Amino acid sequence: MPPRPTSHSFELWAPAAAHSVELDLDGARHPMHRDPERPGWWQTTAPARPGASRYGYRLDGDPVLLPDPRAARLPDGPEGPAQLVDHEAFEWTAPAPGAPLPGSVLYELHIGTFTPEGTFDAAAARLPHLVDLGVDTVSLMPVCTWAGAHGWGYDGVAPWAVHEPYGGPDGLKRFVDAAHRHGLRVSLDVVHNHLGPSGNLLPRFGPYFTDTHHTPWGSAVNLDAPGSDEVRAYLIGSALAWLRDYRLDGLRLDAVHALVDTRALHFLEELAAAVDGLAAATGRHLHLIAESDLNDPRHTTPRHDGGLGLTAQWSDDLHHCLHTALTGEGQGYYADFAVRPLTGLAKTLRHGWFHDGSWSSFRQRRHGRPLDPRRTPGHRLLGYLQTHDQIGNRAQGDRLAAGLAPGLLAAGAALVLTSPFTPMLFMGEEWGARTPWQYFTDHQDPGLADAVRNGRRAEFAAHGWKPEDVPDPQEPATFLGSKLDWTESAREPHASLLAWYRALLALRRAHPALADPDLAAVDVEFDESERWLVLHRGHCRTAVNLSPEPRTVPLGGTFTDLLAAYGTPVPHRDALTLPPASAAVVRTAQ
């Protein structure tokens, strides 16, 4: 039987409405009234069917129906009516794992390309693979609603709603519940710095954006101009809703360097305090991970020490050091890291960042600020060999496995997974997936589709790429070709690489020294010309040979055990001979 109507309160912040706001609920219109206590707010009460009723708003007699900006479900897309969601009706079967972020290993995945079906339920069926692999936190790319069926998710326009083609609100809840049953945490990527170019209806309600500041996406989200109190509350409320209503364990905050906020209380600090309050109220560990291009330790410095109080932030510097060391690439922003790649890699492993106030040729200025290892342990930095950004923003979306020998992939993985950072893998990396992960879109506006297609080709033409060699983001084959081929994982050389990742993750759990976040305790020996490097982690050593010739490397202690190897190393009393393009983790007596 359909749910029976019950009295429901509807509230809307719409200062742009000069005279009237009407609620359209299941075809019936209800006038709304100004809230005398809250400027710009309108409210009414009407009989509605939880989980079924569809509704929207009309401002000042405009016949266009606008969906609720706080809608949890938009079954017909971002410009269609909203549907009420009864969050209390979902039957959860498992509690959250309840562990903090330090010591975790994250696994970034995109719901649309993780499986052939591209849904939450299909992704949930693959969770046993992640348990066997040894990761403990799933990092979902954005799942809030956008115009079109498929895309990366960063063009979302409804920050409270779940993308319908993935499975909608209940689909996300089923995924999170399944992950928790497997002992996995789930983090979600959210985008506060911009909204997508199509289907963004928020400006019709009020000053969600401001021309006071501009970003690469146009007018900035209004965090500090008139009306910004409500905009900040809207975004923070959305973040809390993801954590509360969907029982997510954390959020990844996209490109926080693009959040322009001149107020004394920064938006990120206010958000972090609100999330900490929810964590205290629920007794759960909740985390906030920032993507930042600033190399600023204040993001993760506790609030009582004058920082913003975020849990962790991405470290692109480690990625860039590893990428140049493994591939030899040195164009664009890789230029600084390619001059002496092992020197840069050693610095980053010891100190957290390469750019800590040093000159950046890409930016033509100094960049970053040094970390204090006493206040910023390594677990506050995410380390990774590959991410959606670093693959998908290449002209052809080619993964490292497309051009590197498996032994070099194994060496990169060994350094990430035994580093003092919080490691993160990108889906399919663990078996050296050779399917590309390209930039794909499904813009419904032909003009916008052409602009994106031509813009991407023009961007890469400046680097020597022919237009026909840059995949068309709108072409369905670009999206379909980016889906993982799960059959690869059972074939060589993929199966051996997968076994290596599993072995490294098992070692990280078995040997606390390999997960020690103390940057001050890290030591690195290397030879730039011979292309070998040894990472010292307590009594453990991670040794990698990136050269095409065998290398004998010092261990800085007496060899006792070979813990894992990709290749066949030869141990000596206080050294190790590594075959070309190989890696090993050993234990020493000192």
pLDDT, tens digit, 9 for 90 and up, residues 405-426: 999 999 999 999 999 999 999 9
For strands 287-290 and 365-367, give the pairing. Answer: unpaired
Domain for residue 574, yes or no? Answer: yes
For the question of residue 254 being annotated catalytic, the response is yes
Query: What CA–CA distances, in Å, run from 422 to 136, 322, 342, 408, 521?
Result: 11, 16, 21, 21, 16
What CATH number did the domain enclosing 33 receive? 2.60.40.10
Q: Which of 89, 124, 158 is the last residue before a domain boundary?
A: 89
Q: Which of 42, 66, 89 is the last residue before a domain boundary?
A: 89
Domain for residue 264, yes or no? Answer: no
Q: How far apart are CA 81 and CA 50, in angstroms?
A: 15
Q: Which of 89, 115, 132 is the last residue before a domain boundary?
A: 89
- Give the pTM: 0.97
Can you tell me whether residue 130 is helix, strand or coil?
Answer: helix
H/E segment holding residue 451: helix 446-461
What CATH number did the domain enclosing 522 receive? 2.60.40.1180
In this prediction, residue 480 carries a pLDDT of 97
Domain for residue 50, yes or no? Answer: yes
Two tokens, residue 142: 């954005």
Buried b (16+ CB within 10 A) or exposed e, 327-350: bebeeeebebbbeebbbbbbbbbb
Q: How far apart are CA 406 and CA 400, in angstroms?
A: 10
Domain for residue 95, yes or no? Answer: no
Q: What is the DSSP string of 519-555?
A: GGG-EEEEETTTTEEEEEETTEEEEEE-SSS-EEEE-
pLDDT, tens digit, 9 for 90 and up, residues 206-233: 999 999 998 888 889 999 999 999 999 9
In this prediction, residue 6 carries a pLDDT of 86
Residue 30 structural domain: 6-89
The tally of domains found in the chain comes to 2
Domain for residue 36, yes or no? Answer: yes
For the question of residue 291 being annotated catalytic, the response is yes
Other Cβ atoms less than 10 A from the Cβ of 403: the count is 12
Which segments of the chain have a pLDDT < 70? 1-3, 590
In this prediction, residue 3 carries a pLDDT of 66
Set 291, 296, 317, 472: catalytic member: 291
Set 177, 254, 430, 488: catalytic member: 254
In this prediction, residue 98 carries a pLDDT of 80
Domain for residue 562, yes or no? Answer: yes
Which among 29, 448, 8, 11 has a CA at the least distance from the CA of 205?
11
Q: How far apart are CA 94 and CA 186, in angstroms?
A: 13
Domain for residue 170, yes or no? Answer: no
Query: What CA–CA distances, in Å, run from 141 to 130, 163, 535?
Result: 16, 12, 31
In this prediction, residue 214 carries a pLDDT of 86
Domain for residue 84, yes or no? Answer: yes
